[in-house]
Amino acid sequence: MKSSNPFWNFFASVKLALFTLGCIAVTSIIGTLIPQKEPMQFYVNQYGSKVATYFQLLDFTDMYTSWWFLALLGLLSINLIVCSIDRFPITWKQITQDNLELPLERLEKFRLSASFNTQLSEQEVITTLPNMLAKAGWKIESRNRDGIHLFFGQKMPWSRIGVYLVHLSILIIFTGAVYGQLNGFRGSMMLPELQSSSTVFPFQSSSTINLGFTVKCERFEIEFYDNNMPKEYRSLLTVLEDDQVIVQKEIEVNTPLKYEGITFYQASYQPFNDFIFTIAESTNSPTIFTGEFQKEIKWLENNVSFGIINLESVRDQAVRLKIWFSDPTGEPSEFWIDAGEMIEFQRGDSVYFFSAKQRYATGLQVAKDPGVWIVYVGFLLMISGLYVAFFMSHKRLWLIIKNSGTKTQIEIRGSTNKNQAGFTTRFQDLATALENEL
């Protein structure tokens, strides 16, 4: 609907929508080609100091939150809102109009038409037709106009709002993304085994974020390929509140822990130079110690001392450990074990269960995005809107009943706003079926 206001017409323009979408698509390539949210030194090393400076000035290193990219999204949002307001009244009129009041001259101009005569009386046709059309899925209305009986039926008039559902879904997605950006965060945690933390270090910020609860790394495990490259690593995490265990879950890449709207992703690891020892006497509960290479560790409760006196490693991974073990029953023992292997041995009357492994820290990426559910709703609405817009159509049918002497004439007119070819076939089939039955 053309307005006399040029400002309104500018924002209602389809050309503006195409231009804005084109700019967003082209500039998004920048975010694909240039790594985002890396330290300045990364860009200096990759592109040189001069280019890196330009990237920073133009916000190419964090373009999805840059003022100019958000301005493009804002311009597209305004364009969608104005376009919808400008065009929706016409669509609403097409949905709600009284189709039985359309001029007969206009109906005669419809491309889809058929007519036939029947031996039934006009009253018999008027009585029979509604039931026949109802079986075919048409909701029928009727009216007598100037001695001519007119029937009207339609299917899916609401399919005309499909495009507006898509417009609304885009606005909802934008809203969710902006809300998540303003109220969420992305950061990292480096948790050594057996240690806990309630603090996240957000990316591109020197401040810290308090989670409001504590995350503890109970255990970290890593597997390697034959060439000693990391194959798989996983962490057993525990969430604690007031020293009470709330959640415990083993995570690995693509299997995160989620709690209170915050997601913990397995992202990296870091080997340490100290070790974790698990020791138990007979069937008693095991006790866990941490200690350094070639440093004596004492289990005072049982008057036991032990430590690692030698090791075999591949790259930064200790794979075999030589253990020194002493208790009051005799001379110290020395033996080799595989890292992480639990062994059983006896000294005097005591049976010991013992294992040792290199200590690791698990690297976690931590993300909170409170707008993600808004985005999900937007995408579901978009899928629904696209389905309605492309695969559903507003079909309309008129039947004009005329008395022509000893016969009754039936004229059929039809129209659809989409899929003209498909509706033409169904229209012809319906006309043929009516003629055969009447």
Residue 382 inside a domain? The answer is no
Model pTM? 0.74
Q: What percentage of residues in the chain have a pLDDT greater than 90?
A: 57
Rounded CA-CA distance 233/251 in Å is 9
Residue 267 inside a domain? The answer is yes
Same domain, 253 and 334: yes
- Is the Cβ–Cβ distance between 399 and 129 less than 8 Å? yes
What strands lie across the sheet with 148-155, from one edge to the other?
Answer: 112-118, 407-416, 395-404, 148-155, 139-145
Same domain, 256 and 139: no
HSE at residue 132, side-chain half, CA atoms within 13 A, is: 17
Q: How distant, in Å, are the alpha carbons of 238, 239, 294 from that of 257?
A: 10, 10, 36
Same domain, 423 and 340: no
Lowest mean pLDDT among 173-177, 301-305, 307-311, 313-317: 313-317
Across the range 156-164, mean pLDDT stands at 93
Q: Is the pLDDT of residue 1 over 60?
A: no
Same domain, 55 and 194: no
Residue 191 inside a domain? The answer is yes
pLDDT digits (tens, 9 = 90+) for 231-260: 888 999 999 999 899 999 999 988 999 999
Same domain, 110 and 75: no
Across the range 405-428, mean pLDDT stands at 90
Same domain, 210 and 348: yes
**Can you say whether the dihedral through the CA atoms of 180, 181, 182, 186 is positive or negative?**
positive
pLDDT of residue 3: 61
pLDDT of residue 79: 93
Residue 364 inside a domain? The answer is yes
Same domain, 405 and 337: no
Alpha helix segments (H runs only) across 268-408: 372-391
Rounded CA-CA distance 214/248 in Å is 12
Task: Give the phi and the psi of residue 231 in degrees, each rounded to 5.
Answer: -100, -45
Residue 169 inside a domain? The answer is no
Residue 174 inside a domain? The answer is no
Same domain, 212 and 329: yes
Residue 384 inside a domain? The answer is no
Q: Is 64 exposed, middle or buried (0-12, 13-18, 19+ CB in 10 A)?
A: middle
Residue 143 belongs to a domain with what CATH number? 3.30.310.80
Q: Is the pLDDT of residue 37 over 70?
A: yes
- Final residue of a domain: which of 368, 402, 425? 368
Provide the b/e sequence for 361-400 (b: ≥16 CB within 10 Å). Answer: bbbbbbbbbebbebbeebeebbeebeebbeebbbbbbbbb
Same domain, 347 and 408: no
Higher-confidence residue of 415 and 222: namely 415
Q: Is the pLDDT of residue 226 over 80?
A: no
Across the range 325-346, mean pLDDT stands at 92
pLDDT of residue 351: 92
Same domain, 65 and 205: no
Q: How many domains does the chain have?
A: 3
pLDDT of residue 152: 94
Q: How distant, in Å, are the alpha carbons of 44, 124, 354, 396, 414 from that of 417?
A: 56, 32, 77, 9, 11
Rounded CA-CA distance 381/398 in Å is 33
- DSSP result, 241-258: ETTEEEEEEEEETTB-EE
Same domain, 232 and 364: yes
Q: Which amino acid is at 413?
A: R
pLDDT digits (tens, 9 = 90+) for 339-398: 989 999 999 888 999 999 999 999 999 999 999 999 999 999 999 999 999 999 999 999
Q: Which amino acid is at 358?
A: Q
pLDDT of residue 113: 92
Across the range 96-123, mean pLDDT stands at 89
Long-range pairs for 168-172 at CB < 8 Å and ≥24 separation? 168/84, 168/381, 168/385, 169/378, 169/379, 169/381, 169/382, 169/385, 170/76, 170/77, 170/80, 170/378, 170/382, 171/77, 171/80, 171/81, 171/378, 172/374, 172/375, 172/377, 172/378, 172/381
Average model confidence (pLDDT) for the chain? Answer: 90
Domain of residue 401 covers 97-156+393-437
pLDDT digits (tens, 9 = 90+) for 176-222: 988 988 888 889 999 999 999 999 998 877 789 999 999 999 999 88
Q: How far is CA 166 from the centre of its chain?
A: 17
Same domain, 71 and 108: no
Which residue in this structure is represented by tokens 């409170």? 370
Residue 386 inside a domain? The answer is no
